[in-house]
Structure 1
Amino acid sequence: MTMNPVSSVSVFLPALAGGGAERAMMHLAQGFAERGLKTDLVVAEAEGAYLSKIPAGVRLVDLQARSPVVVSKTFALQRYLQREQPEALFSALDIVSSATLARRLAGVPTQVVMCVQTNLSQQFRDHQPHTFGRVRPQLVRLMYPWADALVAASAGVAADVARMTHIPQDRVRVIYNPVVTPEVLAKTQEPVEHPWFAPGEPPVLLGVGRLVSQKDFPTLIRAFARVRKERPARLMILGEGEDRLQLEALVRSLNLEADVALPGFAENPYAYMAQASVFVLSSIFEGFGNVVAEALAAGTPVVSTDCESGPAEILENGRYGRLTPTRDPEAIARAVLQTLDEPRNSPELIARAQSFSVANITDQYLQVLADLLTQPTRQAS
């Protein structure tokens, strides 16, 4: 266990929506608090599905940032830093790096660690709806070098950040997300009150994630249609999002209403993971792919697209689960059918998941701070 190099830390998030990145950073805050650090979870706006799940020992700080949010949250964060002066600030989902600008405006010695949770190039390509969307890559190039340290959620994200910012890749630390906690492991043992998981029922394929284009659930549904032609099976997708109506229409067009369920956001997806026969990730891109590691922790076989970035690293290039090309329903269907025909090796999968435990990852983040403190002191600017 790494010794604590500091006594106070803050974790900054825009909000507490029910995404994997928010969940990972809350787990990190929990890890810091369990090490005895004074830990603040600072949010631009205190809203979202995880608002009721603040870890014990973590103080929630609501900056109450209002429109225009980018400007408002930067100045609100500046005031927070001047008032509290934490020794370190970990900022995630902060695409335009409000944290580095707020620290410069505050003139405090807080160490800022940017935690990059997604493949930025892919995200910017996926969402360019307005002028601000088009300038975000320029803001990344300008402001990310102001951080004291950059941490990427996967090697693929690190390479992408280095390309975008022209920062040497060896300056971007790779630390996988902390997704496996004792609570997660306990929740995998809880029962699932759904008739599909009763003994003797057909195998259930499970997808988990926001119903948005990045997750490419249409490809998963089309892959399931191919599986369904070969053998009895069912597909459940947990999550909520803007693509729900489109997905429901696709299910109807393929005459799969009896075998596909979209029950929405689940308070405990881990119990579903443990009961599923195969977990499937169909994403076009990821930063890490928390749900892949969580499925391994539940002991469930995984089929995942070999997308940028993260799943291939979690699965060690196919050692712990099958990888398929993106946007390829036929390949996913073949991989699922092969997986269903194999015996389940849960102990090996669960052992792999321990690489992503909160205790292990908290140690690595504390080492980042320890390394920063051995460098020459930088002047707050």
Structure 2
Amino acid sequence: MYAAIKYVQGPLTRNITQKLDKIYGEIDRVLDRDIGNGAGRILNIDSLTTEIYLHVFEMVLVGDDLGHDEEWLRIFANYPRVAFEAALKLARYPCLLRPLAARLIPDMRRLLDYRQEVYNILHIFHQSYIDNAGAEYGNTWILAESISGTSMAGIQTTARVLYQTLFDLVEYPEYIRPIREEINRAISQEEGGANISHAGLLSLVKLDSFIKESQKFHYNNLVSSNRKLFKPLTLSDGTTLPKNAHVSIPGLAHAVIDKSGSTRPFRGFQWAEKKTTAENPSIYNYVFSGQDDLEFGAGLHACPGRWFASIALKAALVRILLRYDFRLPDGQVRPVDSYNDGLEMEHDVTAKLQFFTRDSGAVLHGDLI
């Protein structure tokens, strides 16, 4: 995955501004198709959010032609799910037995079939990947896996955050109006353009704060920052952890449990408020990674694509909030998070929201609250 990481750290992050209009275009493409101008349309939110970032990431990673190819989109709509299911099944076996188990598990055979399809289609690789591949330059299998791995990680993780943020906006509707007001100010400062610029999206501190708080309450993993010790480690209380021990941090508890042991209240704008008095306001940004913010991992292993994901999230939320009102359908409650035996979140893939189109003329001019 060296090539993927270097591509994400380099060209993908550097070229966000140049790609932004196309990102908006892909978001609009999905919203127009799946919601359109229909009043009261009820949609599966897992499908909607996955479709949005399927189109966004494929357009960015493989270009307009392949990124809009129905066969390619079909593969990557299913590939992440197949890969994660195979990984969970394989993880149940001891390390020494995994090579044998991989030959017998049906999920692994399905994954290899998808892998072959990806390789067959990617007969012409992105020059950006080749330029950043380093020692992997001559291994086309690794380059193909780098592209597919970047797609899988970007689509699934970003879609999951958008999913949770939409349901949190429904659960805490008092935040919607001030976020819309902030969006409208950004639009007016850019002379009413529908596509808020990169700088404009960075100025949306309330939206940034709300996304950050939502992700803290809906952690992707119950434990995070998994590490293996290469030498003994003595903790502050004198406890010594031996060499080869595996250590993790209870990420969800670390994020939302206060010193009394109780779950703290959801405060969607607290990170924006803390910026106003902070010496270094950037530590309260959504993308910040530190000892109190482990949602993207920590240290050298922190997610390299979090800056791009943040912009893609804000672009989608700007579009949705300005184009639609939304609520839970009658008789439905907010879906409850659950975690599998790998301690990873499995959100409710059947949950739905009902969308109502807002005034389109006002949206284009940014004057609708």
Q: Do both proteins adopt the same fold according to a TM-score greater than 0.5, normalized to the shorter chain? A: no
RCO greater where, 1 or 2, for CA within 8 Å and sep 6 or more?
2
Q: TM-score, normalised by structure 2?
A: 0.28
* Greater helix proportion: 2
